[in-house]
Amino acid sequence: MREIIVTEPLFVSSFRCTGSACRDHCCKSWSISIDKKTVKKYTTSKNIQIKNIAHENIQLVKKNSQDWGVINFSPETGSCPYLDQDRLCLVQKNLGKEALSHTCSTFPRSNRTYKNEVHHSLTISCPEVVSILLNNPDAMGMTEKVNLQNDFNSAQPIQPKAKLLNLFCLSLMNAADASIEASLYAVIKFVMFIQKYDEITDSALTDIESAYLLLVAQLEDGTISRELGSLQVDYRVKTSLLLLLQDYFAKLETSRGTHVLNYYSDFLRLAISSNEDSPLENKVREIESRWVGVIQDDLTNQRFAFKNYILYKFWHNNFPNHSQRSMLQSLYLIIAEYYYIKIVSASYALGKGNIDTGHITNIIYSFHSISQHNQNVAENFYQHIETVRLGDDLSMIHLLA
Ligand code: SF4
C-alpha cells in the first residue's frame, strides 16, 4: 500500500452546502459544462422528465469528452432547468448523487493532486465558503492525515521548494498581530529575497530562514509598519486600479453574482463621483480612512476575517508558485484583488454607516463568481489588472501604503 498525505484547512472540513437555503444558489445564472458520459446519461434516461429537459436544454459543443455539452439556463429565472420549485436538483433527487456531472458533483471543491500528496480547497464563488473564512478564526488551520491506497497518484511529485515557499508565506502572513497591509509588505520583501535563489540548497535555506525570522521580528516590533507608513504613496496606481475594475465589471455580460457586486460597487461609484470639485485622490483617501473604522469597529470581533481571506488566497493559489507568472506578479494580483474588495467594503460602510461580515461575504463571493468563474475568465481578468502595474513589479506597494 502507498501512503498519500492529505492536507486540508478547517474551512474545507467544516463546509456544508446550505442547498435550498443558499443566499445565491450555484445552479443559477452561469453556464455549466457537462461531460460526454453525463450528456448521454441524461438524453437517454428512462426518467422522462430528465430526458425531456436534456433534449430541450443541453446544447452540444463537443469540444472534448469533458466539455461535451452546456446546460442552457432559463432566460426568465436564470436557473438551471433541473432545479425544481423547492430549489432542489431533479437529477440528484431522481437519479441519485452519482448521476451528477463532474462540475455539479464537485463544486465548490477543488484539489491539487501530486504523486503522494493531495491538497484540498474550495472555491470562494460559494458564499458559504466565504462565510466560514470570515467568521471562524480557525478556518485556515491545517489538518494532515495519511490515506492508504494501492498505488501512487499518476501526477508529478510535489516540489519540496514550492511546498516550503508556500509554507513560509502562509506563516509570515500569520506570524504577528500586524495589519494586513504590513504583513503583505513583509511578504513582498520576503519574495524579493527568495527570488534570487534558483534552487533551495541547504545553505540557501539557512539564509531564507534567517530572512523570514528577521521579517517576523520586524513585524512584531513595528519596524515594517513604520517603514510602510513612511513611503511616498502614488495615488495614480490606486485610482487607476479602481477605475479599471469598475469599468471592467460594468462591461461584462450579466452572470451569477453580477447584480450583487453591482449593488456594492455602486457605493464606490457614488463615493468617487460625488463632489466634482474634489480631486479623485482626496475621495480615495476618505474611503481609505473609513477602512480603518471597518477593521477597528465594524469587524471588532472578526479582525481575523481579511487575514483569513489572504491566507486562503495563498493556499488556494499555491502562492508563490505559478508556472506562468513570477512570484511578484502573483502577489500583485492578490494585493490588487484585496485592495478592490477593501475599498468597495469601505465605500459601503461610508454610505450605510457600517458593514458586517454578511455584506463582506456578498462582496467577496460575487467578485470571485464574476471574475474567476472558469480559467479563461480568470486569465482575462488577470491580464486586465496587469495593465495597471505600469511595468513595475513593485507598484503594488502603493496599494498597501
Ligand atoms: S453556492 Fe455553495 S452553499 Fe450555495 S448551493 Fe452552491 S455549493 Fe451550496
Q: List the single range of 82-86, 157-161, 280-284, 370-374 with lowest mean pLDDT.
A: 370-374
Report the candidate in 281, 282, 246 with the shortest Cα–Cα distance to residue 267.
Answer: 246
Domain limit, last residue, from 41, 73, 106: 106
Cis peptide before 279 (omega within 30 of 0): no
User: Are residues 239 and 169 both part of a single domain?
Assistant: no
Q: What is the mean pLDDT of the chain?
A: 91
107 CA to centre of ligand 1 in angstroms: 8
The reply to whether 315 falls in a domain is yes
pLDDT at 58 over 90: yes
- Cβ–ligand 1 contact at 108 (below 6 Å): yes
- Structurally, how many domains does the chain consist of? 3
- Can you tell me the distance from the alpha carbon of 197 to that of 208, in angstroms, rounded to the nearest whole number? 9
The atom of ligand 1 lying closest to the CA of 365 is 1
- Cβ–ligand 1 contact at 117 (below 6 Å): no
H or E stretch covering 70: strand 67-71
**Integer angstrom CA distances of residue 83 from 20, 27, 100, 322:** 10, 7, 13, 37
User: Are residues 199 and 260 both part of a single domain?
Assistant: no
- Can you tell me the distance from the alpha carbon of 122 to that of 250, in angstroms, rounded to the nearest whole number? 27
The reply to whether 390 falls in a domain is yes
- Can you tell me the distance from the alpha carbon of 290 to that of 349, in angstroms, rounded to the nearest whole number? 7
- Cβ–ligand 1 contact at 393 (below 6 Å): no
- Can you tell me the distance from the alpha carbon of 250 to that of 253, in angstroms, rounded to the nearest whole number? 8
**Rounded to two decimals, what is the model's pTM?**
0.92
User: Are residues 275 and 248 both part of a single domain?
Assistant: yes
pLDDT at 380 over 80: no
Task: Supply φ then ψ for residue 200, to 5 degrees.
Answer: -95, 95
- The domain of 176 spans 160-215
Q: Which segment, 141-145, 158-162, 234-238, 385-389, is predicted with the most confidence on average?
A: 141-145
What pLDDT score was predicted for residue 195? 87
Contact in structure between 248 and 356 (CB atoms under 8 Å): no
pLDDT at 142 over 80: yes
- Cβ–ligand 1 contact at 310 (below 6 Å): no
Report the candidate in 369, 364, 373 with the shortest Cα–Cα distance to residue 337.
Answer: 364
Q: What is the three-state SS of 82-120? A: CECCCCCEHHHHHHCHHHCCHHHHHCCEEEEECCCEEEE
- Cβ–ligand 1 contact at 320 (below 6 Å): no
- Cβ–ligand 1 contact at 92 (below 6 Å): no
Contact in structure between 299 and 354 (CB atoms under 8 Å): no
- Can you tell me the distance from the alpha carbon of 366 to that of 127, in angstroms, rounded to the nearest whole number? 8
User: Are residues 59 and 180 both part of a single domain?
Assistant: no
- Cβ–ligand 1 contact at 17 (below 6 Å): yes
Contact in structure between 295 and 372 (CB atoms under 8 Å): no
Using one digit for the tens of pLDDT, what is the confidence trace for 217-261?
A: 999 999 999 999 999 988 888 998 899 889 888 888 888 899 999
More confident residue, 362 or 64: 362
Q: Average pLDDT, stretch 264-280?
A: 90
Considering only CA atoms, which residue is closest to atom 3 of ligand 1?
A: 17
Using one digit for the tens of pLDDT, what is the confidence trace for 72-125?
A: 888 888 889 999 888 889 999 999 989 998 888 888 999 999 999 999 999 999
User: Are residues 222 and 204 both part of a single domain?
Assistant: no
pLDDT at 389 over 80: no
For 2, the 3-state DSSP assignment is strand
The reply to whether 114 falls in a domain is no
What pLDDT score was predicted for residue 156? 94
User: Are residues 305 and 388 both part of a single domain?
Assistant: yes
Domain limit, last residue, from 180, 215, 250: 215
Contact in structure between 294 and 349 (CB atoms under 8 Å): yes
- Lay out the sheet containing 109-113: strands in order across: 109-113, 117-122, 2-9, 142-149
367 CA to centre of ligand 1 in angstroms: 16
256 CA to centre of ligand 1 in angstroms: 12
Q: Which residue's entry shows cell 474551512?
A: 11
Cis peptide before 320 (omega within 30 of 0): yes
User: Are residues 181 and 226 both part of a single domain?
Assistant: no
User: Are residues 207 and 221 both part of a single domain?
Assistant: no
298-304: which pairs have CB atoms within 8 A and are 24 or more residues apart? 298/349, 298/354, 298/355, 298/356, 299/356, 299/357, 302/134, 302/135, 302/137, 302/357, 304/137
The confidence band for 374, taking pLDDT boundaries of 50, 70 and 90, is low
Contact in structure between 122 and 11 (CB atoms under 8 Å): yes
DSSP 388: G
User: Are residues 237 and 349 both part of a single domain?
Assistant: yes
23 CA to centre of ligand 1 in angstroms: 8
What pLDDT score was predicted for residue 371? 86
